[in-house]
Amino acid sequence: MDQQLEALHTIVTRGTAFLVDYSFQVVGAIIILIGGFLLGSWVSTAVSKLCEKREIDVTLGHFLSSLAKIVVIGFAVIIALSKFGITIAPFIAAIGAAAFGATYALQGPLSNYGAGLAIILGRTFLVGDTITVAGVFGVVETITLAHTTLRTEDGVRITVPNKHIVGEILHNSGEHRIVESSVGISYSADPARAIAVISQALAGFPQLQNGPAPQIGIEDFQDSSVAIGYRYWAPTQRYIETMHAVNLAVYQALGQAGITIPFPQRVVTIMKDQNLS
């Protein structure tokens, strides 16, 4: 019992001595840390607003604001440690050694972060773009250091690790994606009139007016029809929906104009047997 009391008395004595000797340092370190966190939040908000004002990409803006906050808080921690006479050189060496060892143990996750940094800084694609990569197609919803999230037209969310994006062939359709279709008309029909009818049908879709003008013309001469090709730029987020609606409108417009859409036909002539004798 006496030994326990003596140990408790020793702890209290040393604790009191520490507070007496380092009370100002402790208070100062706490104030510096609180100020560092507050300043870091303010700097992060300021950087975010500046990025919005300069119309910088959302993902890059978030990355820069977070980086600024981490840098400010890091300096605050270094200054707080210096209040106790602690040098940061051993910590930097330990962090470097740990990072070197983790490079081999975490090659997969770290490669995702490296690829994410390349995507964010290189601005290969932005939030809202429609991309095709690694066999998937969708609108970019979020970009983080670890992965990129796509949303398909069906509302399905696809998460792609960034290491599967960097170094691959990537198709960025932006806000509009081209649609190429064709329809056959009879050889007896006037192709110029058919082109005018299709052009008028496409003009009835407001979502096609934001992209380049549609292109319509004779595409090919087939066995039983003249192929009229038409290409237009549909909103990528409504690609399939728009394509189906346009095809229906073209079909109905040609029918109302009396322009025949032929189908392949074969004429078979049967010769009667003749008496050659």
Residue 145: which CATH number?
2.30.30.60
Within its chain, how far is the Cα of 42 from the centroid?
28
- Are 28 and 75 contained in the same domain? yes
Does the residue 103 lie in any domain? Answer: no
| pTM of structure | 0.53
CA atoms within 13 A on the CB side of 194: 27
Q: Say if residues 228 and 182 touch (Cβ distance below 8 Å).
A: yes
Residue type (1 letter), 179:
V
- Whether residue 36 is found in the same domain as residue 21: yes
Alpha carbon 200 to its chain's center = 35
Per the structure, how many domains does the chain have?
A: 3
Identify whether 230 is part of a domain: yes
The C-alpha atoms of residue 106 and residue 99 are separated, in whole angstroms, by 10
Q: Which residues contact 29 (CB under 8 A, 6 or more apart)?
A: 80, 81, 83, 84
List the CATH number of the domain containing 232: 3.30.70.100
C-alpha distances out from residue 260 to 108, 185, 235, Å = 59, 6, 30
246 lies in a domain?
yes
Statement to judge: residues 216 and 183 lie in one domain: yes
Kindly state whether residues 137 and 212 are assigned to the same domain.
no
65 neighbors 44 (Cβ within 8 angstroms): yes
Q: pLDDT digit of tens for each residue in the chain (277 aa)?
A: 566 666 666 776 766 666 666 667 777 778 888 888 888 888 888 888 887 777 666 666 777 788 788 888 888 887 777 766 666 666 666 666 665 555 554 456 667 777 888 887 788 888 888 888 888 888 888 888 788 999 887 788 999 988 888 878 888 877 788 899 999 999 989 999 999 999 999 999 988 877 788 999 999 998 889 999 999 988 877 888 899 999 999 999 999 999 988 887 777 777 766 555 5
Q: Helices then strands (H, E): number in the chain?
A: 6, 8
Q: Which domain holds residue 60?
A: 2-86
Tell me the two tokens of residue 258: 């009396």
Residue 152 inside a domain? The answer is yes
